[in-house]
Chain A
Amino acid sequence: MTSNTAMIPSFTPSMNPSTKGTDHGVEDGVTGEKLLFFNYHEYSVKNYRLIGENTEDFHEQALIITHFPNFHVPRDSNTFEGTRIVRISRYFKGVGVFVPQFSPYLPGTEPAAIFGDDDTNAKFIVQGEYMGQFFGTSSYSPLSEYLTEKEFREIVEEINVQLRDAYNSWSLINLLLFVLDLLSFWIMSDLIHSLSKRKLDALFNFIDTRNKSLEKRGIKIISPRDSGFLSVCIVSTVKT
Chain B
Amino acid sequence: MEENDRKPWFIRLVEWLVTFPDERRSQNGDGDGDGDDGRDYTDVRRNYQVWNSKSQVFVMGGRFRTLKRSLRGWITFSCCIIPFVLFCIFEASWWWHKISPGVVITFVYSWILCTASFIKASTRDPGFVPHNVHLTEDPYNIPEEYRNVISLPCSTSKKGVQVRYCLTCRSWRMPRTFHCSKCDQCISIHDHHCVWITNCVGERNYAYFFAFLVFAVFSSTYLIVLEYVRLFYNDDVDTTLSNTPVTLLILIMAHITILYPLLLLILHVSLIAKGQTTREYLRTWKIHRYDNPFSMGNILKNSVYALCKPRGYSAVSSRARYEPGDVRFRRFES
Quick check: is A92 within 8 A (CB to CB) of the other chain? yes
Contact at B315–A74, with CB atoms within 8 Å? no
Q: A230 in the interface, Cβ–Cβ < 8 Å?
A: yes
- Find out whether the CB atom of B130 lies under 8 angstroms from the CB atom of A228: yes
Interface assignment of A61: CB less than 8 Å from any CB of chain B: no
Q: Tell me the residues in window 264-278 of chain B with beta carbons closer than 8 Å to chain A beta carbons.
A: none
Chain B positions within 8 Å of A90 at CB level: 163, 172, 174
Q: What band does the interface of chain B fall in when counting residues whose beta carbon is under 8 Å from A?
A: 35 or more
In this assembly, does B175 line the interface, its C-beta being within 8 Å of a C-beta of chain A? yes
Q: In whole angstroms, how far apart are the Cα atoms of A119 and B228 in the complex?
A: 80
Residue among A20, A168, A231 making CB contact with B172, cutoff 8 Å: A231
A227 and B151: CB pair below 8 A? no
Q: Which chain B residues (107-165) contact chain A, with CB distance < 8 Å?
A: 112-113, 116-117, 120, 129-130, 132-138, 143-146, 148-156, 158-163
Check: A237 CB closer than 8 A to any chain B CB.
Answer: no
Cβ contact of A185, chosen from B116, B148, B150, B207, cutoff 8 A: B116
**Residue on A with the closest CB to B214?**
A182
Decide if A44 touches B145 in the complex (CB within 8 Å).
yes
Q: How far is the CA of A21 from the CA of B160 in the complex (A)?
A: 11
Among the listed B150, B208, B293, B313, which residue makes an inter-chain contact with A40, where contact means beta carbons less than 8 Å apart?
B150
Determine if B160 and A28 form an interchain contact, defined as CB atoms under 8 angstroms apart. Answer: yes
Interface centre among A44, A167, A228 (most CB of B within 10 A): A228
Which residues, 66 to 87 on A, are CB-close (under 8 Å) to B?
68-69, 71-77, 87
Let me know if B325 is at the binding interface, CB within 8 A: yes
User: In the complex, which of the residues A41, A94, A195 contacts B155, with contact meaning CB atoms closer than 8 Å?
Assistant: A94
Q: How many residues on A have C-beta within 8 angstroms of the other chain's C-beta atoms?
A: 67
- Interface pair A87/B134, CB less than 8 Å apart: yes
Residue B304 is within 8 A (CB to CB) of chain A in the complex = yes
Which among A17, A43, A72, A194 is the interface contact of B311 at CB below 8 angstroms? A194
Q: Are B175 and A92 in contact (CB under 8 A)?
A: yes
Contact B153 A93, beta carbon cutoff 8 Å: yes
Find out whether the CB atom of A22 lies under 8 angstroms from the CB atom of B174: no
Is B101 interfacial (CB-CB < 8 Å)? no
Residues of A close to B162: CB separation below 8 A = 25
Contact A200 B154 (CB under 8 A): no
**A68-B136, A185-B113, A230-B171 known; A195-B152 Cβ under 8 A:** no
Residues 310-334 of B contacting A (Cβ, < 8 Å): 310-313, 315-316, 323-325, 327
Q: How far is the CB of A97 from chain B (nearest CB, A)?
A: 5
When distances are taken between beta carbons in the complex, the residues of chain A under 8 Å from B163 are: 40, 90
- Give bound CA distance, A114 to B149, whole Å: 19
A28 and B325 in contact, given A169-B304, A170-B304, A185-B113 (Cβ under 8 angstroms): no
- Min CB distance, A166 to chain B, in Å? 6
A-B contact pairs, 27 of them (CB 8 A): A21-B151, A22-B148, A25-B149, A25-B151, A32-B158, A34-B153, A35-B152, A36-B153, A43-B144, A43-B145, A45-B143, A74-B37, A76-B325, A89-B172, A97-B175, A166-B310, A170-B304, A178-B207, A178-B307, A187-B116, A189-B311, A194-B310, A200-B313, A230-B172, A231-B133, A231-B134, A231-B172
State the 6 A-B residue pairs at the shortest beta-carbon distance, nearest first: A25-B151, A74-B325, A196-B310, A228-B315, A43-B143, A185-B116
Residues of chain A touching chain B, judged by Cβ–Cβ distance below 8 Å, are 17, 20-22, 24-26, 28-29, 32, 34-37, 40-45, 65, 68-69, 71-77, 87, 89-90, 92-98, 130-131, 133, 166-170, 174-175, 178, 182, 185-187, 189, 194-197, 200, 225, 227-231
